[in-house]
Amino acid sequence: MNESMTLWSLISNASLVVKFVMLVLMAAVFASWVVIVQRHRVLNAAKANYIDFEDRFWSGMDLSQLYREINQQEHVFGVESIFTAGFREFSRLRQQSNADPEAVMEGTQRAMRVATVRETELLDHHLPFLATVASTSPYVGLFGTVWGIMNSFRGLANVHQATLATVAPGIAEALIATAIGLFAAIPAVIFYNQYTTKVDQIVINYETFTEEFANILHRQVHKKNKATNQNAVDKNG
């Protein structure tokens, strides 16, 4: 109880600048934890979405049926968005008369690349904020500490005999700012590194799926083109 009251008294007796620094840092702590929890949910949902979609994709289900099922969902995101973007463009280009197979594949891959970039941006959303908190909070706290210590030594000018009891409260007030800065920065660093690693892994999965899906569509479009050419030869013959 005494320690709690002592800590509160140190904060309440701090200068206005130091109090403002503490307030900014506590706001950064709160905001960073909101981002941490929100990103945790988003990244876990993206990972679960990829695993579920991969099971359905490789189950042998017809791609047209899979496309219709996904379009009926209320919320489409992650690898499902990449699949629907690619399959929609592939179907549209292939329906054109005399469609060149290479042009079809180029358009399909372009659509999937755009969708991948869009999904990557959603995964990276707010992560730069964590990086900013991690890198700047210690310096903001240090500023509050330096300011507090400066005021403490300035106050000693009016004291004839300086003792540890005279200096200690002012220094303790100042050091609280640094402690809050570290309290904000340490979790932000840990979770920023963890989340960027997760994002990289998910994006690699997206890119791998894009290549595999493109290979499947490539075989389909060339198979159809070969059948069309064969029918034309048979008619001419």
* Cβ pair 17, 183 in contact under 8 A: no
Write down the pLDDT at residue 162.
60
Instruction: Give dist(CA 77, CA 75) in Å, integer.
Output: 7
Show Cβ contacts of residue 146 under 8 Å, excluding neighbours closer than 6 positions. Answer: 174
Q: How distant, in Å, are the alpha carbons of 14, 109, 181 from that of 151?
A: 10, 63, 20
How does pLDDT run along the chain (237 residues), one tens digit per residue? 444 446 666 667 677 888 888 899 999 999 999 999 999 999 999 999 999 999 999 998 899 999 999 999 888 999 999 999 999 999 998 887 677 888 888 999 999 999 999 999 999 999 999 999 999 999 999 998 888 888 777 767 666 666 666 666 677 777 888 999 999 999 999 999 999 999 999 999 999 999 999 999 988 876 655 545 444 444 554
Contact call for residues 123 and 43 (beta carbons, < 8 A): yes
Distance CA 42, CA 48 (A): 10
* pLDDT for residue 232: 44
User: The whole model's pTM is what?
Assistant: 0.81
pLDDT score, position 1:
40
| The predicted structure's pLDDT at residue 172 | 77
